[in-house]
A and B are shown apart, each in its own frame.
Chain A
Amino acid sequence: MPILAKTGNEAMAEALRQINPDVVAAYPITPATEIAMIFAQFVADGDVDTEFVAVESEHSAMSATLGAAAAGVRAMTATSSQGLALMYEILPIVSALRLPIVMPEVNRALSGPINIHCDHSDTMAARDFGWIHIFSENAQEAYDNLLQAVRIAEDTRVRLPAMVTTDGFIISHCMEKIETIDDAKAKEYIGEFKAEYSLLDVDNPITVGSLDLQDYYFEHKYAVAEAMKASKDVIIEVGKDFGKKFGREYKLFEDYQLDDAEIVIVALGSTAGTAKAVVNDLRGKGIKAGLLKIRVFRPFPHVEIANALSKAKAVAVMDRSDSFSSAGGPVFTEIRSALFDSAAKPKLINYVYGLGGRDISKENIEGVYDELAVIAKTGKIKNLFNYLGVRGI
């Protein structure tokens, strides 16, 4: 198991090299550009067999990737923010055609105003397109998640596309120590791709992407919903197997000091790392603080999360994007909905934080736990919906 110093982008590119897709079509966008750049060098150096298509937009990147996948090969792309937004139109077509495209996505704030730094607004806006969403806390997870995503997406019980995200700059550009898998073992783990159908099978021609009206569209969408439901067990299975093979097990979410926790933060991505440090400090002081780090946002593990949170007294859901609904961010509404049927449920509050890369410090998170401690003690919530770290409020 080689130990390497890699940024998040380098770790993703390394996984891509080992996956060795048949086709990669990509377009530059900060902060994901490096993934395609590094990969293009792999192509130029003959380290992979991939046909690399340097397209003229992200819309064409996803379109060409779809075309390649429908032609029966393993096809990938990578993007971020505006690039993902340009792909939005094609994302639900990929899932409807049941093409297991896997895509690294570097979370970056959506314009406007234009900004290149991290928040989750780009992928949160893409949460209802029938893609599996897997978040990563660091470069190691980004690497591991990307490899697992191929196994998950291509599983015949699933056959759905998957995006694996990292936090822009915070993970994508920070160098960390990661443990990779030997090339031969990675190749064996990834395996050969066997398409469900191929448009290159000219002896058995099929029509793909038909006009699908009132009499069939609904059934085809239901099939996507069923596949998404089925993917949960596959994700668990793949995560366990990965642990057995490579020593790092993955679950739908990570429970950190959660068992006896009275005050809990729910977070995704790199913020979970900061929160862990705060939990350690608080535990040192005898405070029963815990963290639930969501790894898989689609499918949303509503039953498991509700169970895991039901014993807590007060929970803060951290949203690194806003729904502008005046009723909380996207993660909050999911969690609140998941807890609706629980007999026991904690007091729940929401924080929208870190938009456009606004830093989230240990002190910020300590403040959230302080607030949760007050709620746990008094049973009273001052503000249900909160904005953390914004000036002028």
Chain B
Amino acid sequence: MANLKEMAKQEERLTGGHRACAGCGIPIIVRQIMHSIKDPVVVGCATGCLEVVTTIYPYTAWKVPFLHNAFENSAATVSGMESAYRAMKKKGKINKEIKFLAFGGDGGTYDIGFQSLSGAMERGHDMLYVCYNNEAYMNTSVQRSGATPFGAHTTTAPAGKVKQGKEQFKKNLTEIMVAHEIPYVAQAAVGNWMDLTKKIEKAMTIKGPKYIGILQPCQLGWGYPMEMTVEIGKLAVDTCIWPLYEVEHGKYKLSYKPKEKKPITEWLKSQARFKHLLKPGNEKLVELIQANIDKHWNNLLLKCEGGVV
């Protein structure tokens, strides 16, 4: 594995000058991924922040082949490119080893692109799908998605006089991907570069469909100071709202266990989207959130120990 110094010397495959917000977690993710792949890589991307900020015509921040088709079909589109690659390879028209990478935000992955993703994974295309999960539709101004956590304020599930933000818990897409019985599924987060790098490197050695969900703090949608992105990512892991783990051929492995699991209140008070939850009268909601996190965390620990949940 390359260390940070070596990585810094590598050529950037996503250059600067793109239009991501200051403090955005997406370019951190994309650059770390690109630095972790040695082979040539072809990228497909769903409509969303990543596509919008990196490709405004006639400019591009991509130094690798990049294709954007539409919102809900990143996985299907990349599956077509990967099939074309196999056809060309079979005919001897291409000899290079090329990796295929599909990106989607949580809207393009958990919601509108869910079917396309599921289909591509089931068909077994040799590709890595990466969901940069900022837990809402940030590109259109913070609407709730299937990845938005319980109680979070969004513009389509706002906190108000009688409502306290989103009334449902988030979909556990990572586990749904595990249920597809694909060779590799993992969770990673911004702020844990070594963990992400290792996971990408491992994924690249595995043939077949791979899925990695990466929690990506969004200063604009979550409401925290822009210089805090990395710390917020680490806090997500330390509060166990987004544990780092991987499932290789069905076998669970915890990538990181916090020495001391931090209480959910630390997470809630770090971001404006949760501030209404800390008001007097909402204590029960906070307890509910904590209980939900504990349940998922304990289940995960059991799975990693090889236990039955």
Contacts and interface: CB of A to CB of B under 8 A. Distances in A.
Interface of A: 22-23, 25, 49-51, 53-57, 59-60, 63-73, 75, 89-90, 93, 199-202, 205-213, 216
Given A68-B84, A199-B67, A211-B51, A216 B58 contact: yes
B80 A25 contact: yes
In the complex, which of the residues A70, A72, A201, A209 has the most CB atoms of chain B within 10 Å of its own CB atom?
A: A209
Contacts of A69: 80, 84
Nearest to B75: A60
B114 to A, nearest CB: 11
A22 B88 contact: yes
B84 A55 contact: no
Interface stretch (B117-125, B128-136, B143-151, B154-162): B117-125
Contacts of B65: 199-202, 205-208
A65 B88 CA distance: 15
A65 B67 CA distance: 13
Interface of B: 40-42, 44, 51-52, 55-58, 60, 62-70, 72-73, 76-88, 90-91, 94, 96, 98, 115-116, 118-120, 122-123
Q: Give chain A's interface secondary structure class.
A: loop
Given A202-B40, A210-B60, A50 B87 contact: yes
B86 to A, nearest CB: 5
A68 B123 contact: no
12 contacts: A53-B83, A60-B76, A64-B80, A67-B44, A67-B78, A67-B79, A202-B42, A205-B66, A208-B67, A208-B68, A209-B55, A211-B57
Given A71-B81, A200-B94, A202-B42, A93 B57 contact: no
A23 B87 contact: yes
B80 A53 contact: yes
A60 B70 CA distance: 11
In the complex, which of the residues A57, A67, A199 has the most CB atoms of chain B within 10 Å of its own CB atom?
A: A67
B234 to A, nearest CB: 32
Contacts of B52: 211
Given A71-B81, A200-B98, A60 B64 contact: no
Nearest to B86: A51
B67 to A, nearest CB: 5
Given A71-B42, A200-B65, A210-B56, 18 more contacts: A23-B87, A51-B84, A53-B80, A55-B123, A60-B79, A63-B116, A64-B76, A71-B84, A75-B80, A90-B70, A200-B81, A200-B85, A200-B94, A202-B40, A205-B64, A208-B65, A208-B68, A210-B57
Contacts of A71: 42, 80-81, 84-85, 88
Contacts, number: 165
A201 B67 CA distance: 13
B81 A68 contact: yes
Nearest to B41: A202
B88 A200 contact: yes
Given A64-B83, A67-B80, A56 B64 contact: no
A23 B84 CA distance: 6
B82 to A, nearest CB: 8
B81 A199 contact: yes
A50 B82 CA distance: 13
A66 B69 contact: yes
A209 B80 contact: no
A211 B42 CA distance: 18
Nearest to A204: B65
A63 B84 contact: no
Contacts of B90: 49, 51
A364 B86 CA distance: 53
Contacts of B86: 51
Given A75-B84, A202-B42, A64 B79 contact: yes
In the complex, which of the residues B68, B79, B80, B116 has the most CB atoms of chain A within 10 Å of its own CB atom?
A: B80
B101 to A, nearest CB: 12
Contacts of B44: 67
A202 B96 contact: yes
Contacts of A211: 51-52, 55-57, 68
B98 A202 contact: yes
A25 B73 CA distance: 14
Given A56-B122, A199-B65, A202-B96, A89 B84 contact: no
A209 B116 CA distance: 18
B73 to A, nearest CB: 4
Contact of A209 (B69, B94, B119): B69
A49 B83 CA distance: 12
A57 B87 CA distance: 22
A130 to B, nearest CB: 15
Contacts of B41: 202
Q: 8 tightest CB-CB pairs across the interface, nearest first?
A: A67-B80, A56-B119, A64-B80, A209-B68, A71-B84, A60-B76, A202-B40, A63-B73
A73 B84 contact: yes
B100 to A, nearest CB: 10
B180 to A, nearest CB: 12
Given A63-B70, A202-B42, A206-B65, A55 B83 contact: no
Given A23-B87, A73-B87, A202-B65, A67 B76 contact: yes
Given A73-B84, A200-B88, A63 B40 contact: no
B80 A22 contact: no
Contact of A208 (B56, B66, B72): B66
B72 A59 contact: yes
Contacts of B120: 60
A119 B68 CA distance: 34
A209 B98 contact: no
Contact of B83 (A68, A199, A216): A68
B42 to A, nearest CB: 6
B74 to A, nearest CB: 9
A56 to B, nearest CB: 3
B56 A22 contact: no
Nearest to A61: B76
A80 to B, nearest CB: 19
